[in-house]
Structure 1
Amino acid sequence: MTRAEIIANIEEQKKNPNLKLELKEKTEYFTNLLFYTLFDSNTEVAKNIDMLEVTFAELIDLACWETEKPCSKIWQSYLEKLPVILEKLNLDAAAFIKSDPAANSIEEVYLAYPGFYAIAIYRLSHELFKFGLPLIPRLMTEYAHRLSGTDINPGAVIGESFFIDHATGIVIGETAIIKNNVKIYQGVTLGGLYVDRKLRNVKRHPTVEDNVTIYANATILGGNTVIGANSTIGGNAWITESVPPNSLITNTAEIKIKKVI
């Protein structure tokens, strides 16, 4: 094919007129601005809020394709949520200090813990998700997923004082519900029993009640599955049924140690 034919072929097959990669890049910039606004001690809050408003308007132009742009009315309502979000995130950070003996300072949690970063971007995206803003919340959490190794869908509902240790490989599905004072370790999945487009808008991910600890690589599946309050789920457990409160679930395997001469 000639150069002209190649270009014509590509242009003919570009079927998505609203797919603008600029939206992804601007969403990541917006996410970073939010994080600096809430946490960086050298950042002027008022100045950054002005920058956030401008960037948000640009995101609306890219993400909301309706002619009247009803999404533009969201900004003020979202701005009013930021103090509440910050309050929750400070409780999350305190949970890290309380739970992890390796945490040397609260500054270390904010700056160095991928689990905290994933929770922060989840909470910031979740409020936009609740407003019905298309695509942007998911791009925010996917940005955090790429940086932290933790995949939290913005539709999940997560209570206060949430602790994620090590972060890598954690998956929390769209309809998962996690209540207060929950601890989750690396590799945990809160997922669906199976994938089917017909399950859209159906609760298909588990509910985790207050004060539950879920250790590494445990898999908990199903929208009807409830992990009762004050329970502990051991590492590598596979759970597809509800667990009563105050339970201890373990997955034991025989380990043989043989001395090699």
Structure 2
Amino acid sequence: MMHVPDTLDLASTIAELRAARTAWRHDADGRHTVARFPSRDAVSAAMDDLVAALFPGRLGAFAGPADLEDAFVEARLRAALAEFRRQIEREFGYWQEEAVLAFDASQAAMIVDLFAAELGPIRELVDDDVRAAFLGDPAARSADEILVCYPGITAILYHRIAHALYGLGAPIVARIVSELANGRTGIDIHPGATIGRRFFIDHGTGVVIGETAIIGDRVQLYQHVTLGARSPLGVTDVSPRERLARHPIVEDDVVIYAGATILGRVTIGQGATIGGNVWLLEDVPAGSVVAQPTAVILAGEAADHLHETLRGRAA
């Protein structure tokens, strides 16, 4: 850290910063006690322990004999879950200032217990995602390479953890987990998004998946794909459905190429292919191909032919 000379006069700057903090904390929409907010650094440390417990050999640096692996996993898992409990307790303390009724003191522990029960299925889901990446990318030399090196796998691993926490009632801690992934990979997946099995993001940088997006099984995305909402809330009048279902539905076996932007509660039908840089605001029938430059929706034999051409080139 750069040393600031003692002779520098900071009194006016410190006073201005204090005034800004005071104004922020007394703003009309209400601010909470800073000390009660979950810590990004603590959640990051918990994630390091949790990832090590899920993948002790490749991501946890475990190199001991096989009969000691379970002990390693237990130690890292206990450390992770204890920290998650502390951070969820802080989240509840934060929300308590707006709650009518007091939070049950045991709720954080209950969430952590339920979360622990989901870790086995999460590991199985991520294993399937790694298999999908190996099948989808001919440049991959091994599943281990994918797990260790591919940003798309890091992003989906963090998302599956964040999604479980989000569903159990810890949205701030879940959002911190998703933002840790975003910072490390450039892939922004809201923890509320629902994503099926064998999901593969190839390259990945710039991918954005919104809160209410629903993605089926065996879906493949390329870099800079956006599954977003049509307009910011507050800018236009929206119905309850548009508020709670703002993002696309992508059905099974869809491929979406680089730079495509799909906005609103549209449905991309099963087996469709969305070409690069396409801008979509409407439903796409199953089995169709949507391609530039005119973004014409093709079906039938024309769609089959373009499917084969695009997927052949991807290989």
Instruction: Give the structure-2-normalised TM-score.
Output: 0.75
| Alpha carbons of structure 1 residues 208 and 6: separation in structure 2 relative to 1, 3 Å | closer
Q: What is the match of residue 52 of structure 1?
A: 80
Deviations, residues 84-118 of structure 1 (Å, cap 9, x unaligned) = 00000000000010010111111111110000000
* Structure 1 residue 8 displacement after superposition: 5.1
Q: Summarize the alignment of residues 4-19 of structure 1 with structure 2, pairs less than 5 Å apart.
A: 5=15, 9=19, 12-13=22-23, 15=25, 16-19=31-34
Q: Summarize the alignment of residues 185-204 of structure 1 with structure 2, pairs less than 5 Å apart.
A: 185-197=222-234, 201-204=243-246
Match of 1:193, SS state, is coil
Task: Name whichever of 188-197 and 62-71 sits farther off.
Answer: 62-71
Name which one, 1 or 2, has greater alpha-carbon Rg. Answer: 2
Q: What is the match of residue 49 of structure 2?
A: 33
Find 2:282's aligned residue among 241, 250, 258: 241
Match of 1:96, SS state, is helix
* 1:129 and 1:155 in contact (8 A); partners too: yes
Unaligned runs of 5+ in 2: 1-9, 26-30, 63-68, 97-101, 295-315
| Alpha carbons of structure 1 residues 6 and 73: separation in structure 2 relative to 1, 3 Å | same
Q: What is the match of residue 24 of structure 1?
A: 40
Find 1:205's aligned residue among 214, 238, 247: 247
Match of 1:205, SS state, is coil
Match of 2:118, SS state, is helix
Deviations, residues 153-186 of structure 1 (Å, cap 9, x unaligned) = 0000000000000010000000000000000000
User: Where has structure 1 moved over 4 Å in runs of 4 or more?
Assistant: 1-8, 197-201
Aligned residues: 252
| Alpha carbons of structure 1 residues 72 and 241: separation in structure 2 relative to 1, 3 Å | same
Unaligned runs of 5+ in 1: 254-261
* Structure 1 residue 134 displacement after superposition: 3.1
| Alpha carbons of structure 1 residues 7 and 48: separation in structure 2 relative to 1, 3 Å | same
RMSD of aligned residue pairs (Cα, Å) = 2.0
| Alpha carbons of structure 1 residues 46 and 218: separation in structure 2 relative to 1, 3 Å | same
* 2:47 and 2:80 in contact (8 A); partners too: no
What amino acid is the match of 2:262? I
Q: What is the match of residue 214 of structure 1?
A: 256
What amino acid is the match of 1:250? A
